[in-house]
Amino acid sequence: MSWLAGTFSGGFVQRALLEAVMVGALCGVVGVHVLLRRLPFFAMALGHATFPGVVLAALAGVNLLLGAGLFGVLVVVLVAALGARERVDDTSAVGVVLAGAFALGVLLLSAQAGFAKDLAAYLVGSIVTVQPGDLAATAAVGFAVLAVLAALHKELVLGAFDRPGLAALGYPVLLLDVALLLLVEVTLVASIPAVGTILAVALLVAPAATARLWTDRLGATLTLSPLLGVASAVVGLAVSQHWRVAAGATIVLVAAAFFAVSLVVAPRHGLAGQLRARRRATAAARPA
């Protein structure tokens, strides 16, 4: 325990810790919606595609997250437009936009000297260099996103469960879709300082997927997921400080470890539970 306390003394570490907690909690909640609406691939693509926005913002001297955010909106529109055409199915459309946007970002960045270091920070995060300004931005974004999710909760859940049903009830389905995609985009962008564009998806998917293995109820999932997100972030940060390795990546490994363990031991949906259920079923079916 004292090892943990000792690890967390020091200004930059405190800031990193605060950022980790906020990002972990926010991604945990948004991640549940990402899973329910089957958006992991889209989130991945968004993470890659906001990259040119970050670069453009850096070149223009504008706030990086703003650049990423605005570019992300553009990407959301592009994907929706491309995916709506016949012959270009959603997956390939997303793949094309992902690849193109990322390459564009690399191009823009490579035109500058010394681009390797900045690139690494954008891709895998640099939580230990988080500034008070970033903390304020994350907090603001976090509150806004959570507020909107709470307000639209029942509509978003219905839309994930029964999209035609949502349309039949007369709701503006496309608007709600876009709203959710934008919420995901904003969350991703807010997580970039902590874990970078590629790894932000992990915090969106892993804690939520882990929570889904332990409970059948939506309310419980929405509580457990952010807790797991925070735990992954804090433990990951501590371990990375101790072993002096990349923080963002370590956070992701911890989140993945929680998932892997749950995959095996979760009572009903983990491996142990399913084997037990199957054994019980065969025993019951055996003639007396």
Partner 1 sequence: MTELLVDPFRLPYMQRALLEVVLLGVLTGAVGVFVVLRRLAFVADALTHTVFPGVVIAFLLDRSILLGALAFGLLTALLLAGIGANRRVGDDAALAILLTSFFSLGVVLVSRTRTFASDLTAFLFGRVLTVDRADLVQTLVLAVLVLAVLAALRKELVLRAFDPAGAVALGYRTVVLDLVLNVLIALVVVAAVKAVGTVLVLALIVVPAAAARLLVDRVATMAALAGLLGAAGGWLGLAVSYEVSVGYGVRLASGATIVVVLVALFLVAASVAPLRRLAAGRQGPATLAARGQRERR
Partner 2 sequence: MGSEQGPVLAIRHAAVAYERAPVVEDVDGTVSSGQSVALIGPNGAGKSTLIRAVLGLLPVVRGSIEVLGRSPEAARPKVAYVPQADTLDPEFPVSALQVVLMGRYRRIGWVRRPGKADRAAARSALDAVGLAERASARFGTLSGGQRQRVLLARAIAQEPRLLLLDEPFNGVDAVSQELLLAALQRLRAGGAAVVMATHDLGLAHLACDEVCLLNRHQVGFGPIGTTLTPELLRVTYGGQALELRGDAVIVAKP
- Chain residues in the site for partner 1 (CB under 8 A): 35, 38, 40-41, 43-44, 82, 85-89, 91-96, 98-100, 102-104, 106-107, 110-111, 113, 115-117, 119-120, 123-124, 198-199, 201-202, 204-206, 208-209, 212-213, 244-246, 248-250, 252-253, 255-256, 259, 263, 269, 274
Residues 16-55 that bind partner 2 (CB under 8 A): 36
Closer of 213 and 230 to partner 1 (Cβ) = 213
Is residue 155 close enough to count as binding partner 2 by CB under 8 A? Answer: yes
- Torsion of the alpha carbons at 34, 36, 37 and 43, rounded to the nearest 10: 20
Question: How many Å apart are CA 204 and CA 35, to the nearest integer?
Answer: 9
Closer residue to partner 2 (CB): 7 or 215: 215
Contacts of residue 73, defined as CB under 8 A and 6 or more positions apart, other chains included, come to 182, 185
Least distance in angstroms from the C-beta of 147 to partner 1: 26
**C-beta closer to partner 2: residue 12 or 161:** 161
Residue found by looking up tokens 């859940």 in the block = 157
Select 158 or 256, whichever has its Cβ closest to partner 1.
256
**31 alpha-carbon distance from chain centroid:** 6
Cβ nearer to partner 2, comparing 8 with 171: 171
List the x/- string, 206-245, binding to partner 2 by CB under 8 A: ------x--xxxx--x------------------------
Contact 121, 196 (CB under 8 A): yes
Query: Which residue type, as a one-letter code, is found at position 71?
Result: F
CB of 119 to partner 1, least distance (A): 6
| Minimum CB distance to partner 1, residue 254 (Å) | 9
Residue 37, number of CB atoms within 10 A of its CB: 19
Report d(CA 182, CA 205) in Å as an integer. Answer: 17
Per DSSP, 159 falls in state: H
| 219: CB partners within 8 A, 6+ apart | none
Distance between CA atoms of 288 and 283, rounded to whole angstroms?
A: 10
Size of the chain, expressed as the number of residues it contains: 288
Q: Which is nearer to partner 1, 144 or 169 (CB)?
A: 169
> Where along the sequence are the contacts to partner 2 (CB under 8 A)?
36, 151-152, 154-155, 157-158, 160-162, 164-165, 167-171, 212, 215-218, 221
